[in-house]
Chain A
């Protein structure tokens, strides 16, 4: 269980700067998720922590040691790879025991550890199988088992669930969460899936183009995004983000006036990006305190417990929500309400939040 301190981390590929000075401070036992679209630098950051990529600038410290110059095996880390990277010629037991054998641990101790971890991960009946004879979920657990037996200071996960189907992914997510509660190791976990990030993380670091957009607790990044990118990235379906004109009484949304109070400093005639989550647009009857608008419904998506309501406001398409049993017809005008208490405003140019 160690603290991880990443400061001003830079990665250059030739003259291309892939990371522009990243600072992340991870507390002992913290579950930190790096999330962002592909190419944002999250995997690069993780691999630099692991020692699989050289560090072009800045510093990484694990515990009290700066690990910049250390080899992967000297860093006290274990890693779970996206494709599991199990040794195909070794049995499950051989895969899990490999690093222990290399560290010249006595055989009895190796057996004890492997059996114990296999028990935790329900791998005991599979110990003598080769990876080719395992299902995707089983391989995933072996990959984790291989990391756990080493009892590392830090676990690194590189998109470990992306090769699993949706159902298994949900199960494994929960399993990883339980494991973390039990082992209490420090974890850095890379994913492009914001649901995984939200459910697993103590701390979410949202990255984009080699920079950190925002970091904080899941609550903070979801409910209090600093930038229009974070607002749009976190949440499914995504937050509605619409370029609007500020009017004396509120906003002009397509052809409709939306009466609301705006942050100080916004003047009539300014352009602003208006953001509101689908949860905060509901049929007027369900949301008494909201700002009512009547708009045409384009499309209904039935999700079961709720429905997504696509409607048009001038050139913009927005999404709202309603209960799964509410009966709405496509193509009709509906009276909807916007919960402007949870609306966000971003600078149309810089994307920075205007509070």
Chain B
């Protein structure tokens, strides 16, 4: 007898028990359900993406009513522009510095607020420490400007402590501006790391710490041998995510220093904006944006691979 179209389930094969829906009309059904989502995604993502790439291949778009196709000329111009490379270098300093700052402060605070203290105090500290995250960039920028300006609180305190004789212009001095920006960015961004790490900490089996304690491990040993290895995938994941975000972070820098003084804190995102809305060089702005996109995409692929491995 020829084989039946649908195999009869055999009790010794587990997977054969799963019923198989092979109705010809149903083959496309799942895709039909995906369609609305795909259409929206397509409209929201691919159209602007396509536009930006297209802009980067023309001479000055938007300003010119009939832009002409110039191929990769904009890319050649940008890559030959020292301003682009210096913004690129600043972006790396800002991104890597911020991520390191977020990690150190975020992990440190996560460990502190994970301590076994009174639950009400713990809730209080946890909510307080998340605050920097919920302010808008405008508020953050404004407050830090006030804090850091020559007649601001920080200079007042340093002066009172006798650490400085002249007030320092933290955001206006080219030697200090990037450091100040990193402090602000660290303050602004650590809560995400802290929260991720905190939820990660809660998944570490308590018994591991007890075992380590019995094995004679102190605080650092426990952190190094139990917490860190256990949370390595989480740390790697959030660090990459943070890297992707920070790499293209715009409002905080633009609103705090505007890329200055001079171009001391100019990063690729502020350069893009400057080219577009200050210089009205939309094609070159699109070109820089595409370069950001390529680098971010590379990080994103890394991130997705890491996530896939975790699951």
Contacts and interface: CB of A to CB of B under 8 A. Distances in A.
Interface of A: 50-52, 71-73, 77-79, 81-83, 85-90, 98-99, 102-103, 146, 150
Q: Which 4 A-B pairs have the closest CB atoms?
A: A89-B229, A73-B216, A99-B215, A85-B207
Contacts of A98: 212, 215, 217, 225
B221 A102 contact: yes
Contact of A81 (B210, B221, B225): B210
Contacts of A78: 214
B205 interface: yes
A88 B210 contact: no
B211 A73 contact: no
Nearest to B215: A99
A246 B45 CA distance: 87
Interface of B is mostly: helix
A102 B214 CA distance: 11
Contacts of B214: 50-52, 72-73, 77-79, 99
Interface in B180-208: 205, 207-208
Given A73-B216, A103-B216, A85 B211 contact: yes
Contacts of A77: 214
A78 B210 CA distance: 11
Contacts of B230: 88-89
B137 interface: no
B113 interface: no
Given A83-B205, A88-B230, A52 B210 contact: yes
Contacts of A99: 214-216
Given A89-B229, A98-B225, A81 B211 contact: yes
Nearest to B216: A73
A226 B221 CA distance: 48
B226 interface: yes
B207 A87 contact: no
Given A99-B216, A102-B215, A87 B225 contact: yes
A206 to B, nearest CB: 25
14 contacts: A72-B213, A72-B216, A73-B215, A78-B214, A79-B210, A81-B211, A83-B205, A85-B205, A86-B211, A88-B229, A89-B232, A99-B216, A102-B216, A150-B215
Contacts of B205: 83, 85
Contacts of A72: 210, 213-214, 216
Interface string B213-257: 111110001000110011010000000000000000000000000
Nearest to A99: B215
B276 to A, nearest CB: 47
Nearest to A152: B214
Of B210, B215, B225, most A-chain CB atoms within 10 Å: B215
A50 B225 CA distance: 21
A87 B204 CA distance: 11
B211 A79 contact: yes
B96 to A, nearest CB: 26
Given A89-B229, A102-B217, 11 more contacts: A52-B213, A72-B216, A77-B214, A81-B207, A82-B207, A85-B205, A87-B225, A88-B229, A99-B214, A99-B216, A150-B215
B203 to A, nearest CB: 12
A163 B192 CA distance: 37
B299 to A, nearest CB: 25
